[in-house]
């Protein structure tokens, strides 16, 4: 497979050097693999730290900035960041108001963020943790105990980030983050497998004319494999999966997310079908976000995430944000 890289061993470091050059509003520590908003720590503000394996860009480094994350820790491709790395990020953003760890439910992430919390607390940093587990496709996958954390991570980081930016205390920011996770559901579909730089070939075999329903962001298998479906049929399947699990009683925010290799032309077409399918199910969509936000390298496909919102959550979603990958109201 052709890739725009030097060598597989330096892919993450090279990307971080490029990110530092493109975004002077961030402090990018290439050697220690920590990305921090340049004005951190912000006096009196709860610090938000997240991270995970690289390969899901712009998650998480692309969401560092005003109104969202204070720091992100990129691991190697599809590999959790290490505890020292996470603890270093917590120390960099702690203003004395405490730090919230936002953790996707993958075994390595959970274990390493737990160990990092202990390290940070030993240094006097107050830490709270929120686990994101929004994927309805499967339970107890190859990478998790329980449901996987996927697209809702963006909702948690944005909405909790807005609350922290307004000066909410740690307990309130944590509570809002937990509410957002509990109110969110996701479902993903793969049309083609991704290729990791180290392997140089597709991570799994998906024959021509077939798709995988319920795929994970590391290429984990989903609910079932079927012959190729139309955009409308896929939307119906995904909407049924998330709505049947969440049973939303109020308006939702919808994220139609590309997995890395799906053109916006197709994503917007898929969004039209998602909106139709949600309307048929009686679900009101208050806001919609379409694009590549939680990816899986060059995987072809898409995921749908919905988050049921009240007036307060919607207000926090609309609040100003300024990051490399998400920006409005500023």
Q: What is the DSSP letter of 72?
A: E
- The C-alpha R_g of the chain, in whole angstroms, comes to 19
Residue from 179, 263, 282, 272 nearest 234 by CA: 272
Active-site residue (options: 23, 56, 60, 247): 56
The tokens for 207 are: 């024959």
Calpha distance 256→19 (Å, rounded): 25
Q: What is the DSSP letter of 208?
A: T
Catalytic residue check, 56: yes
Pairing relation of β-strands 327-328 and 321-322? antiparallel
Cα 327 to the chain's mean position, in Å?
A: 16
Q: What is the DSSP letter of 36?
A: E
Active-site residue (options: 23, 60, 218, 247): 218
Three-state DSSP class for residue 275:
helix
Question: Is residue 222 a contact partner of residue 235, using CB atoms and an 8 Å limit?
Answer: no
Catalytic residue check, 60: no
Active site residues: 56, 218
């Amino acid at each position: 497979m052709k890739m725009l890289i030097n060598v597989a061993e330096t892919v993450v470091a090279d990307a971080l050097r490029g990110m530092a050059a493109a975004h002077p509003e961030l402090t990018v520590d290439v050697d220690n693999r920590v990305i921090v908003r340049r004005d951190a720590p912000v006096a009196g503000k709860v610090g938000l730290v997240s991270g995970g394996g690289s390969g899901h860009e712009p998650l998480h480094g692309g969401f560092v900035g005003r109104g969202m994350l204070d720091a992100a820790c990129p691991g190697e491709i599809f590999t959790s960041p290490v505890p020292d790395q996470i603890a270093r990020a917590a120390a960099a953003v702690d203003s004395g108001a405490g730090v919230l760890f936002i953790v996707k439910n993958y075994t390595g992430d959970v274990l390493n963020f737990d160990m990092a919390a202990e390290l940070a607390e030993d240094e006097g940093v107050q830490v709270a943790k929120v686990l994101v587990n929004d994927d309805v496709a499967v339970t107890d996958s190859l990478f998790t105990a329980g449901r996987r954390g996927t697209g809702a991570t963006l909702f948690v980081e944005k909405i909790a980030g807005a609350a922290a930016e307004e000066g909410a205390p740690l307990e309130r920011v944590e509570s809002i983050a937990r509410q957002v996770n509990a109110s969110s559901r996701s479902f993903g579909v793969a049309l083609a497998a991704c290729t990791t730089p180290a392997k140089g070939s597709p991570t799994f075999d998906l024959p021509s004319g077939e798709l995988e329903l319920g795929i994970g962001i590391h290429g984990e298998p989903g609910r079932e494999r079927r012959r190729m479906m139309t955009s409308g049929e896929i939307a119906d399947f995904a909407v049924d999966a998330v709505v049947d699990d969440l049973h939303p009683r109020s308006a939702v925010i919808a994220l139609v997310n590309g997995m890395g290799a799906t053109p916006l032309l197709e994503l917007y077409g898929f969004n039209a079908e998602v909106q139709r399918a949600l309307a048929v199910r009686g679900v009101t969509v208050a806001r919609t976000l379409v694009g590549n936000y939680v990816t899986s390298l060059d995987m072809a496909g898409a995921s749908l995430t919905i988050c049921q919102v009240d007036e307060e959550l919607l207000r926090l979603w609309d609040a100003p944000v300024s990051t490399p990958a998400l920006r409005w109201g500023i």
